Amino acid sequence: MLKIEQVAKSFGRRSVLGPLSFSLAPGQRLAVLGPSGCGKTTLLRIVAGLERPDSGTVTLGGEVASAPQILLPPCERGVGFVFQAPALWPHMTVEKNLEFVLPALAPLERNLRARQLLKSVRLEEFAERPPDELSGGEQQRVAILRALAPSPRLLLLDEPLSHLDPENAHLLLELIKRGAEAAGAAVILVTHDHEQAEAFTERILRLRSDGTPA
């Protein structure tokens, strides 16, 4: 489903990633570990289509999505992205944050899907509230639901649990697993936490400080 072949990226004279190669089948999970500045976030941004690689290719579902001369727009990749901060749209209610990513559905279907998702994590009572009335853990739950709502084929997670206490982090890790399994999505989780990575998957990619695989 995802194939990374000899992908590398530099900013100016500084090499930040690769060359790096790996692949993921549908439903597989991968945790990426490494020190700060080793290119973990850059890897996710390249897969999502937010950065273009200097060399190598990213193939999604058999189609080349990224290469030095190719850049398939993020909206055409079927990829969900959860950032370190929830990044919810503050001018929308919690429910509208979810509905916005479901343009292919009729209005009533969007509303039903959003309500079902919120109920699955016991947040239905917050549907009509703005995001800033939720706790940090609640906001991150909504951010994860928003990424899962369109049933992406690939979910990218950039340290979404780093600011949460252990109990909330564990609950959200289980939410990610259940949601990804329900959608049949492959998942890449970037984290600094070795225990978190091992609890998430047996498949772990470790990067050195120069962005190459350890």
Please report which confidence band the pLDDT of residue 143 belongs to, taking 50, 70 and 90 as the band edges. very high
Q: How many CA atoms lie within 13 A of 139 on its CB side?
A: 19
Report helix, strand or coil for 133.
helix
Residues 6+ apart with CB under 8 A from 114: 95, 98, 99, 102, 127, 149
8 inside domain = yes
41 inside domain = yes
31 inside domain = yes
- Please report the pLDDT score of residue 12 as a whole number: 87
6 inside domain = yes
Report helix, strand or coil for 177.
helix
- Please report the pLDDT score of residue 42 as a whole number: 95
* Backbone phi and psi for residue 35, each to the nearest 5 degrees, phi listed first: -70, 165
The two counts, helices (H) then strands (E), for the chain are 6, 10
Residue type, 63: E
Model's pTM, two decimal places? 0.91
122 inside domain = no
Burial code (b: 16+ CB inside 10 Å, e: under 16) for 156-171 equals: bbbbbbeebeeebbee
164 inside domain = yes
Give the structural domain span for 37: 2-89+151-206
CATH number at residue 55: 3.40.50.300
How would DSSP label each residue in 92-105? Answer: S-HHHHHHTT-TTS
Instruction: Give the dihedral of Cα atoms 179, 113, 47, 86; nearest 10 deg.
Output: -80
Q: Give residue-wise pLDDT tens across range 7-53.
A: 999 998 889 998 999 999 999 999 999 998 899 999 999 999 999 99
Could you give the C-alpha distances from 180 to 42, 151, 158, 210, in angstroms and in order?
Answer: 22, 8, 15, 31
117 inside domain = no
Number of folded domains in the chain? 1
Q: Give residue-wise pLDDT tens across range 124-136.
A: 999 999 999 998 8
54 inside domain = yes
